Structure 1
Amino acid sequence: MTYRVLAVNPGSTSTKFAVYDGENQVFAKTLNHSVEELSKFKSIMDQFEMRKNEIEEALKENNIELKSINAVVGRCGGLPPVKSGAYLINEEMIDRLNNRPTLDHASNLGATISYSIANEIGVNSYIYDPVCVDESGDIAKVSGLKGLDRVCLTHALNTRAMAIKYAKMNNKNYKDLNLIVAHLGGGISLNVHEKGKIVDFVSDEEGPFSPERAGRLPAKMLVDLCYSGKYIHKEMVKNVRGKGGIVSYLNTVDAREVEERIANGDEYAKLIYDALALQVAKSIGELATVVNGDVDAIIITGGIAYSKYMSESISKRIKFIAPVEILAGENELEALAFGALRVLEGEEEATIYSETDFIKA
């Protein structure tokens, strides 16, 4: 039997969704939401009905019957730390996302929309590998300042999907491998997968800078800047998440533009871009120590991984650790759909979400 899955990935200004028959995408659409349209809503979760209705209308216009769908899967973020894989969406999860989210982000609508559509047609709905996946041990949480524990926030959905894809490509079992995965996008995060679990990480706040994030910064200098009187709290947050990284040096977030400048002889652009490659390589080396150097492969993924310049710059520094595989792109809808498909086909078992399993946030 070929299962049909609807995958839903809401972003801050768009809603991406797709229908898959097995592993074949049969329909995909991106609905863009203007600032004017979104300004009508007091909160992100208030956008639920609007986004859901637009999805259903688009499916109807393209002759995709809701009743032909066997499962709905959505992206999600604002939950307490969870393990990797699929979670069955239930009322407890919806209550958490609506009333006590740990992260106020549009991705939380992925769960609420999926749950509502699935209930209408009498099928199960799931989330898969949300950004709050945390399978690391206590030793990975120690930061160096008591009370300021490290928080595992990485691009779990795409990195784990690419790790599973790599294993399948090489006729191996993901749970038998030790893999380091670097996601290079608007934000950059890395994690290490030990025998099927993400046991340590470098979040986008503590590792390489990226097109619009500052990454790891000198702590004392940062504290001094915060208390310099030049910035208020909101401005400092924006400096490190939004105005930091490549854009702070080169006034662009577009890696393609940076490479064009380099090709035209811009030495400063080359310095910054090469520094980014070096920082990614250093973080990969850092994570290799977690598994005592026993790394089967290093995977570079995300949108910037399409860059031959960047991929080669990183690879030449890390290939001594393990073979390097480039799996470019941010394949979030595919990752969601394939995760739900593995549940439907019995390859994975979905976890039942329960608030009692977590420390209350």
Structure 2
Amino acid sequence: MTDSKKWRVLVINPGSTSTKLGLFEGGAAIFTKSIDHNASKLAEFETISDQMPYRRDMILSALVENNQKLEDIDAFVGRGGGLLPLEGGTYVVDDTILDHAYRGANGVQHPAQLGSQLAHAFAQQAGNKPCYVVNPPDTDELCDSARMTGIRGVYRHVHLHALNLKETAIRHAVSMDKQYEDCNFIVCHIGGGISISAHQHGRMIDGNDIVGGEGPMTPTRCGSMPVSEVLSLIDSGLSTADVRKLTLKSGGFVNLLGTSDAREVTARAEKGDKVAARVWAAMTYQICKWIGAMAVVLNGQVDGILLGGGMVHDKGLVQDITQTCSWIAPVTAYPGEFELEAMAAGANRVLNKEEKPKVYTGVPVFTSFADEQ
């Protein structure tokens, strides 16, 4: 292997209703495809991991349709779902990763668990080629102060769009002729879920827990709420399962406006729907408030505020955030996401020996403070 080679990397990102696929050469896309899955078909499988043969065959068909052969691919990357909290980076897929992905060791059952399993199967079939996961969903680089709560033995954890957040930061640093490790950024992913994170010298030291219910309201999530109000909901007759749905699936726009479509919400607001306008304004307010909190985490030393995710296509949203937050640092929009590109870029950095691959220990990076044990 030489540094000058244009590596061909296949990346696989399984989602709830689709599998996103991309083949990259030297960082440039040869083709990308979103393979849609019928919900009734997926419902036939008892577990997430049981879906693997079904999704594998559809990926192979997509490769055939695009005249691509597995043996011509240099490396494979899968989304790293199911793993326990770990530092960011590019990890070699090994037996420990495969075991944790198969059973969902982090307790969150999500199709992203299939990423490493599918990538490994293809890597083996192609002749035992390199196989990786890059900045998995449970990337945890929190500083100690960010972990604390006011209850002994209860700690904050983060579940963020780590892959897209870090890739956005890396790309923006390059645009400044700097290294990610030399910069401080506030990076946001604003879509169906909203992640807002503080990056200090190459580490994501704080952010909201989107699975735990922290952060701004989103199209499908209620966002941060006082604990007493949550308890009142339960006292009123809602089950913990009902409240969990409000946290992850049926809160936010869905609960308040009956839709998860941000475009519909803005259209209704523009036509004079006062409720839609108020909800949109509240979400924007909450995003800006969390950005402000991350600025404090970085001691006001912020090189840029970076906005990514699907809702960043809305120019009005970007304008409102810029107007409110640009006194902290310049605001730059990166609409959409770089998840496929980010996975390919992580593999390329390792293959080009710009970055050392990491080994997944299977041990969480944090369980408790030593003096509290």
Provide the TM-score with structure 2 as the length reference. Answer: 0.93
The question of whether the paired residues in 1 share the 8 Å contact of 2:81 and 2:115 is answered with no
Q: Deviations over 1:42-101 (max 9, x none)?
A: 100011111112111210222101111111001122111111110000011111222352
Unpaired stretches in structure 1, ≥5 consecutive residues: none
Q: Deviations over 1:153-172 (max 9, x none)?
A: 11100010000010111211
Alignment counterpart, residue 75 of structure 1, candidates 79, 92, 97: 79
For 1:214, what is the secondary structure of its paired residue?
coil
Q: Which runs of 4+ in 1 moved over 6 A?
A: none
The aligned residue for residue 108 of structure 1 is 113
CA drift at 1:352: 1.6
The aligned residue for residue 132 of structure 2 is 126
The aligned residue for residue 240 of structure 2 is 233
The aligned residue for residue 315 of structure 1 is 322
CA drift at 1:240: 2.1
The aligned residue for residue 333 of structure 2 is 326
The aligned residue for residue 168 of structure 1 is 174
The aligned residue for residue 264 of structure 1 is 271
For 1:276, what is the secondary structure of its paired residue?
helix
Q: Deviations over 1:187-227 (max 9, x none)?
A: 11111110000111122221101000011012101111112
Unpaired stretches in structure 2, ≥5 consecutive residues: 369-373
2:66 corresponds to 1:58: no
Q: Which moved more, 1:22-31 or 1:296-305?
A: 22-31
Q: How does 1:265-304 map to 2 (within 5 A)?
A: 265-304=272-311
Alignment counterpart, residue 214 of structure 1, candidates 219, 222, 235: 222
For the structure 1 residues 357 and 216, does the alpha-carbon distance in structure 2 shift closer, same or farther, using more than 3 Å as the test? Answer: closer
The CA distance in 2 between the partners of 1:260 and 1:111, in whole Å, is: 40
For 2:285, what is the secondary structure of its paired residue?
helix
The aligned residue for residue 371 of structure 2 is none
The question of whether the paired residues in 2 share the 8 Å contact of 1:80 and 1:359 is answered with no
For 1:215, what is the secondary structure of its paired residue?
coil
CA drift at 1:36: 1.9
Q: Deviations over 1:210-265 (max 9, x none)?
A: 00001101210111111222x22222211222111122111111111111112212
Q: Which amino acid aligns with 1:114?
A: A
Between the aligned residues of both structures, percent identity stands at 38
CA drift at 1:346: 1.6
For the structure 1 residues 107 and 100, does the alpha-carbon distance in structure 2 shift closer, same or farther, using more than 3 Å as the test? Answer: closer
For 2:334, what is the secondary structure of its paired residue?
strand
How many residue pairs match? The answer is 360
For the structure 1 residues 358 and 134, does the alpha-carbon distance in structure 2 shift closer, same or farther, using more than 3 Å as the test? Answer: closer
Q: Which amino acid aligns with 2:99?
A: D
Provide the TM-score with structure 1 as the length reference. Answer: 0.96
Q: Which moved more, 1:75-84 or 1:207-216?
A: 75-84
For 2:229, what is the secondary structure of its paired residue?
helix
The question of whether the paired residues in 2 share the 8 Å contact of 1:48 and 1:109 is answered with yes
CA drift at 1:357: 6.9
For the structure 1 residues 281 and 357, does the alpha-carbon distance in structure 2 shift closer, same or farther, using more than 3 Å as the test? Answer: closer
The CA distance in 2 between the partners of 1:360 and 1:70, in whole Å, is: 37
The question of whether the paired residues in 2 share the 8 Å contact of 1:274 and 1:313 is answered with no
CA drift at 1:338: 1.4
The CA distance in 1 between the partners of 2:235 and 2:201, in whole Å, is: 44
For 2:105, what is the secondary structure of its paired residue?
coil
The aligned residue for residue 10 of structure 1 is 14
Measured on the aligned residues, the alpha-carbon RMSD in Å equals 1.5
The question of whether the paired residues in 2 share the 8 Å contact of 1:213 and 1:240 is answered with yes
The question of whether the paired residues in 2 share the 8 Å contact of 1:342 and 1:348 is answered with yes
2:40 corresponds to 1:36: yes
The question of whether the paired residues in 1 share the 8 Å contact of 2:78 and 2:132 is answered with yes
The CA distance in 2 between the partners of 1:360 and 1:55, in whole Å, is: 37
Q: Which amino acid aligns with 1:33?
A: H
The question of whether the paired residues in 1 share the 8 Å contact of 2:98 and 2:117 is answered with yes
For the structure 1 residues 52 and 147, does the alpha-carbon distance in structure 2 shift closer, same or farther, using more than 3 Å as the test? Answer: same
Q: Which amino acid aligns with 1:191?
A: S
For the structure 1 residues 359 and 270, does the alpha-carbon distance in structure 2 shift closer, same or farther, using more than 3 Å as the test? Answer: closer
For 1:211, what is the secondary structure of its paired residue?
coil
Q: Deviations over 1:259-307 (max 9, x none)?
A: 1112212222111111111100000100111121111111011101111
The question of whether the paired residues in 2 share the 8 Å contact of 1:190 and 1:203 is answered with no
For 2:10, what is the secondary structure of its paired residue?
strand
CA drift at 1:360: 8.3
